[in-house]
A and B are shown apart, each in its own frame.
Chain A
Amino acid sequence: MDTIIDLQSEMTVEDVLKAWPDAYTVFLNGKADCIGCFLQKFCTLREVAETYQVSPEEFLDVLENHIRTISKRS
Chain B
Amino acid sequence: MAIDPLQLRRVSVFQNATDDDLKLFTQNSVERSIEEGEFFFFQGDSAVYFYVLISGRAKLMQMNSAGQQVNLRTINEWQMFGALGVVRENATYPATAQALEHSTALAIKSDFLREMMQTRPYLSFDLMKLMTGYIQEMQERYRELATEKVERRIAHAMLRLASQMGTKTINGDIELSFTRQDLAEMSGTTLYTVSRVLSEWEKQGLVEAGRERVLIRRPHELVRISEGGESIIG
Contacts and interface: CB of A to CB of B under 8 A. Distances in A.
Interface of A: 33, 37-39, 41-43, 47, 51
B219 A42 contact: yes
B219 A43 contact: yes
Contact of B162 (A33, A38, A51): A38
Interface in B137-168: 159-160, 162-163, 166, 168
10 contacts: A38-B159, A38-B160, A38-B163, A39-B162, A39-B163, A39-B219, A42-B168, A42-B174, A42-B219, A47-B172
B117 interface: no
Interface stretch (B23-31, B33-41, B194-202, B220-228): B220-228
Contact of A42 (B160, B162, B224): B162
Contacts of A33: 220, 223-224, 227
A43 B218 CA distance: 11
A39 B163 CA distance: 6
Contacts, number: 26
B192 to A, nearest CB: 25
Contacts of A42: 162, 166, 168, 174, 219
Contacts of B168: 42
Contacts of B220: 33, 51
Nearest to A41: B163
A38 to B, nearest CB: 4
Contacts of A43: 219
B166 A37 contact: no
A38 B219 CA distance: 10
B224 A39 contact: no
Given A33-B220, A38-B160, A39-B162, 6 more contacts: A33-B227, A39-B174, A42-B166, A42-B168, A42-B174, A51-B220
Interface in B211-234: 219-220, 223-224, 227
Contacts of A41: 163
Contacts of B172: 47
A73 B160 CA distance: 36
A51 B223 CA distance: 12
B110 to A, nearest CB: 31
Contacts of B159: 37-39
